[in-house]
Structure 1
């Protein structure tokens, strides 16, 4: 059962259960009566608040009420079991990975993203051609139709940057190696870098390039990460805690502890200070795009 540890699994589980209840048109009172709970207990569970331990039996019963498919129910049970004091980790072969894309869920409700990529252009900024070139290698056994669907879903995610109402704010630093590493073809790279330059002109997007000559701003190599912030609620109180997302080949790590988020914010500050400013970065992006086009 969930009781203590990382808040992220509780928050995500609560969100899925709330969405399930709303989809069935049931009220807190109605579900509370079915579960022999108070309205306040169910509300706390849906908010991911501590103090409301949830047994696997309870989870399965809620999933039955909400008519979740077997796969979704298994994902909810697995999600409930993910709790650790230091971080939350789920592997690529975990049932959660198969059923839900947890990072995309978090990204969709974030108000701001702080991104560092020393290796490639992140999905939110990839062109269809760049994304397809990567996926064709990583998902080598999939059909062209499945690959096209993956690319379409990735491009659809980018609407959160372009929407008129409250677009997500993005502060991103890319290492210069991202600009020089060939993905797909020279034509694909040229289009990708032009797209980055064009997107960086948006008011809610800042793109900086960390040049080779900057070395290691914090004295050691730093892998890719995203800091997700979720803004404030209607009462101007901080909403969900900040999450640092770290992607790896064998699994994804989610850090929530204050000491962890402070480390990554400090790293972000040092990296930004060492990077080119936004204007100089845009010039470098366009110049490199022209080099690939030759």
Structure 2
């Protein structure tokens, strides 16, 4: 019988391995929310389990995403105990309803889970390495405040100014993960030339955005940026959509705390892929896109030239 390497290493080290079967993404996310809100309420695992009328082992498994039979009423009861706000509570119940998704999960915005309940951002916050391809937009983690504001105003044109400002603060908070000095997340991104030429906001906004793309890799060695020029055509003969691959931090044994996953976003929802073949496919495509991209020097020259063109248009 063939034993997976991870389990084989665990057997050698005398550790008990919990099977990965059933630990779907919605379950893990729900478990993370349950644990975080219990801690916010200053309750110990034992105290919460007693009030919820379950064993502490059962609650611990739920917080680890290992309870495949978690019921909506249990989540409701836990949320009430922890004082979880209504909007987040609805999202957590939605995650419970999505428990049996397998390794691929299609999350339709505003369906079982409210549209404003952002599953992706909570995953991104735990990533140790992010690789991405963005053919038409500057990636959110690299956007300037002006660029982000121009997009937000078009997405939610009727929202109050405070709403725009609030969303900008969220974006700035997300960017801290790659800008912080202590264990910053590695970002390895390929941007299509179209993203540099599509006008977002004013020419001045675009100029500042492109200048930022030049500065960030120079100031932060964990940020790697490549530009795929129009002349490169379609590497591999396929027009790839925007995608993100999230890789998570290892545990004390060097194994990932969570399996890597691929995120594909479209207008009405997002697809999360955890199957290893899918992760490998998009990782290979990212490598091919990088190989077809401009060198760091040539990318900097293109960014500088385009930034100057935008600045000249503003005069």
Q: Is this contact kept in 2: 1:6–1:84, CA < 8 A?
A: no
TM-score (norm 1): 0.93
Give the Cα separation in 1 of the matches to 2:181 and 2:164.
Answer: 29
Matched, 1:143 2:156: no
Q: CA deviation at 1:274?
A: 0.6
Alignment of structure 1 residues 56-75 onto 2, 5 Å? 56-75=72-91
CA contact (8 A) 1:119 1:175 kept: yes
Check if 1:246 corresponds to 2:264.
Answer: yes
**1:92-111 to 2 correspondence within 5 Å?**
92-94=109-111, 96-111=113-128
Q: Give 2:273's aligned residue.
A: 255
Cα distance between partner residues in 1 of 2:155 and 2:234: 29
Shift in Å at residue 16 of structure 1? 0.4
Instruction: Decide whether aligned partners of structure 1 residues 86 and 237 sit closer, same or farther in structure 2, where only a CA change above 3 A counts.
Output: closer
Aligned to 1:111, the other structure's residue is in SS state strand
| Secondary structure in 2 matching 1:158 | helix
Structure-to-structure mapping, 1:6-85, within 5 angstroms: 7-49=24-66, 51-82=67-98, 83-85=100-102
How far did residue 95 of structure 1 move? 5.4
Q: How far apart in 1 are the matches of 2:217 and 2:150?
A: 23
1:1-294 equivalence runs, <5 A:
7-49=24-66, 51-82=67-98, 83-94=100-111, 96-201=113-218, 202-294=220-312
Q: Could you give the per-residue CA deviations for residues 89-136 of structure 1, whole angstroms, max 9, x where no partner exists?
A: 222223534452111111111101101000110111111111111112
4+ residue stretches of structure 1 with deviation over 6 A? none
Q: State the distance in 2 between where 1:283 and 1:97 align.
A: 43
The corresponding residue for 2:10 is: none
After superposition, the C-alpha distances for 1:209-236 in whole angstroms (9 at most, x for unaligned) are 0011111112111111111110201232
**Aligned in 2, Cα 1:244/1:275: closer, same or farther, shift over 3 Å?**
same
Name whichever of 196-205 and 79-88 sits farther off.
79-88
Deviates more, 1:179-188 or 1:62-71: 62-71
Structure 2 residues without counterparts, runs of 5 or longer? 1-19
Offset from partner CA, 1:40-76 (integer Å, 9 cap, x none): 2221211112x55211222222122212233332221
Q: Deviations over 1:234-291 (max 9, x none)?
A: 2322211111111111111111111111111111111111111223212221221112
Using the TM superposition, name which of 91-100 and 189-198 deviates more: 91-100
Distance apart, 1:81 and its partner CA:
1.3
Which digits, 9 at most, give the CA deviation of each residue in 1:174-200, with x for residues without a partner?
011111111112111111000111012
